[in-house]
Structure 1
């Protein structure tokens, strides 16, 4: 029996879509958020604004909202209605801009229904669950928890008409995988498996879903990516990914700074494994259920995939997993991006060499203090001339001790962290309050 619950609202779409009354897509929290958003705009009274968010968004939510409450604030603290009011006020223009992206969610859910059916046909061990679409505070995009999947739409939504399809398919694969907290190769295989299986089930090439992204770059520069990856493949440090995964900085290859190349390497290895297999359904099962709980199992899968060329096989079989120290470039590390002047943080940025100042409409600061919104008008830097920009932020506006941030040109050109920046983590610049070394 198909369960469909009809909700009538500004986008007029069905807010629960079921796959044979099993896997269910929950979208009603998006409706509730924008009802709260509109109500917040109707008054300047902060208490009334908080009440609107509480009543119209939080109180009407279920599992998805509960997850957002518990996973949207740094330090593990629970979020509150006030957090969303502050987020709305700081990101009003951005939320207005992305609002139309949700109008076609019903069409996307209708696309996903037969794809999940096809998923079950290709992978009989498929486990049904729930997919919750919510508006968080910019802290998560796609998060699997057991057989539940949570999509932070303020992070993931974009102007592609099928933006939710490929995202849900990739992230849902993670709900079916064995968790791994190992180092680089294992993580690349897990992410690459999710990419490759999502492509198979979607029956649409990833290079089409993400034009000009890491897949496109990888296909044009595969040998360069693989050669660079081999220098780090032996890393056995958990959580140390050298910008191959999960970082904004990415890797600089062939003159281009590109993120997520670890996803590409995992994708290519899994694809090679699948193409080599005679029984394709069995190959899908083995890719999804890949056990990389230790590094040697990850090595074994790489060897079995046949991805590496004959000239690399001895290297793949013989390298030792150990701590990898990136080559010392000889560059003196300095604090970059900000300084402290009494009770003010002064951010400073110089345009990259060769960039024409006349081509720059704006330079903004996006970070964990403003939900990583590069178009937040309250964090636009002041132009000083000669390619220099500055922005002053009172320390009293910063409630946490630790923040990460980046500079963004014209709203979408995220600037890589320079190699000489010592205040760097996760591919971002770091700002630490109360640290004497920062002053």
Structure 2
């Protein structure tokens, strides 16, 4: 998945987060890595007693780690099972903490770029935690959550952090009750604005495939976009016609780009993209699927 985005379906309602008080200045953005050192302390205790050492990891975890437990870590027992099954893979990320701290200085300027495009942005803490290889990044009401075990390479960490930062700014009209159209625009807009902010274009497999098969994909998407079934488009491995995973990101990106390109006030366009009230109206205004959808 793009930039290691192996998160479950993104259904966090950022309106809850907006009610909390988060810094409005990029200078106050913080990377929190204390859960990583706690994880390795627990890791080194494996086999030393009959008690599961990851119980302490979870008990002493940050509020970010607590938000990563439902649907991801699940429990100390489930985490221990995964660690024992993939011990060598976890060990490859043992030094990721120091690498993240070095990357933080390089990523901070992108927060200023986000502020330029969206002055109303807030900058919640970015929590780096160790999970179970099922989520690279997501957002919670308390901040951004990054699954550090996925970060065998930090080459795309900037895109990942900014993508999730964009999600944090988004306001949804109906919380987590989404269909394929809304969810694709939610994800595609995060990719689009992350690219706008960083200048870095991601998801080459989906982009290349999508651009090469645009007509048939647009026809298929137009038929399915009102459904709440994301199969073959989002959050999973697609077995259909050898397509890459998560083409919904590509489709959403193209819809958002089409809308953005038509607007004379680009900053206002970004604000509108982050505050979509009706996804069908937004789609029509974008014009992207007009040849395939007459609703």
Partners of 2:75 and 2:60 in 1: how far apart? 16
| 1:152 alignment partner in structure 2 | 147
Structure 1 residues 225 and 44: alpha-carbon distance in aligned structure 2, compared to 1, 3 A threshold:
farther
Structure 1 gap segments, 5+ residues each: 1-17, 292-296, 320-439
Partners of 1:68 and 1:299 in 2: how far apart? 32
Partners of 2:102 and 2:112 in 1: how far apart? 16
Partners of 1:197 and 1:147 in 2: how far apart? 22
Aligned residues of 2:92 and 2:152 also touching (Cα < 8 A): no
Hey, which of these two has a bigger chunk of strand by percent? 1
* Alpha-carbon shift at residue 233 of structure 1 (Å): 1.9
Aligned residues of 1:273 and 1:306 also touching (Cα < 8 A): yes
- Aligned residues, how many? 269
Partners of 1:121 and 1:250 in 2: how far apart? 41
Aligned residues of 2:163 and 2:191 also touching (Cα < 8 A): yes
Please state if 1:262 is matched with 2:248.
yes
Partners of 1:204 and 1:283 in 2: how far apart? 20
Q: Helix, strand or coil for the counterpart of 2:214? A: helix
| 1:33 alignment partner in structure 2 | 39
1:110 aligned to which of 94, 105, 113: 105
2:208 aligned to which of 212, 216, 220: 216
Partners of 1:251 and 1:192 in 2: how far apart? 21
Structure with larger RCO (C-alpha < 8 A, sep 6+): 2
Structure 2 gap segments, 5+ residues each: 1-23
Q: Helix, strand or coil for the counterpart of 1:231? A: helix
Partners of 1:217 and 1:231 in 2: how far apart? 14
* Alpha-carbon shift at residue 135 of structure 1 (Å): 0.8
Partners of 2:251 and 2:273 in 1: how far apart? 14
Is the deviation greater in 240-249 or in 144-153? 144-153
Q: Helix, strand or coil for the counterpart of 1:39? A: coil
Matches within 5 A, 1:38-437: 38-40=44-46, 43=47, 45-47=49-51, 50=52, 52-55=53-56, 57-72=57-72, 79-80=75-76, 82-146=77-141, 148-154=143-149, 156-159=150-153, 161-179=154-172, 180=174, 181-206=177-202, 210-211=203-204, 213-219=205-211, 221=212, 224-235=213-224, 238-249=227-238, 251-252=240-241, 256-291=242-277, 297-308=278-289, 312=291, 315-316=292-293, 318-319=294-295
Q: Helix, strand or coil for the counterpart of 1:72? A: helix
RMSD of aligned C-alpha atoms? 2.5
Structure exhibiting the larger radius of gyration computed from Cα positions: 1
| 2:10 alignment partner in structure 1 | none
Structure 1 residues 273 and 71: alpha-carbon distance in aligned structure 2, compared to 1, 3 A threshold:
same
Structure 1 residues 280 and 236: alpha-carbon distance in aligned structure 2, compared to 1, 3 A threshold:
closer
Structure 1 residues 237 and 272: alpha-carbon distance in aligned structure 2, compared to 1, 3 A threshold:
closer
TM-score, normalising length from structure 1?
0.56
Structure 1 residues 62 and 122: alpha-carbon distance in aligned structure 2, compared to 1, 3 A threshold:
same
Deviation digits for residues 226-285 of structure 1, max 9, x if unmatched?
Answer: 423323324365531231111212542xxx331111110110111121122111111111
Structure 1 residues 141 and 217: alpha-carbon distance in aligned structure 2, compared to 1, 3 A threshold:
same
Partners of 2:165 and 2:26 in 1: how far apart? 17
Partners of 1:123 and 1:68 in 2: how far apart? 27
Aligned residues of 1:247 and 1:259 also touching (Cα < 8 A): yes
* Alpha-carbon shift at residue 200 of structure 1 (Å): 0.7
| 1:428 alignment partner in structure 2 | none
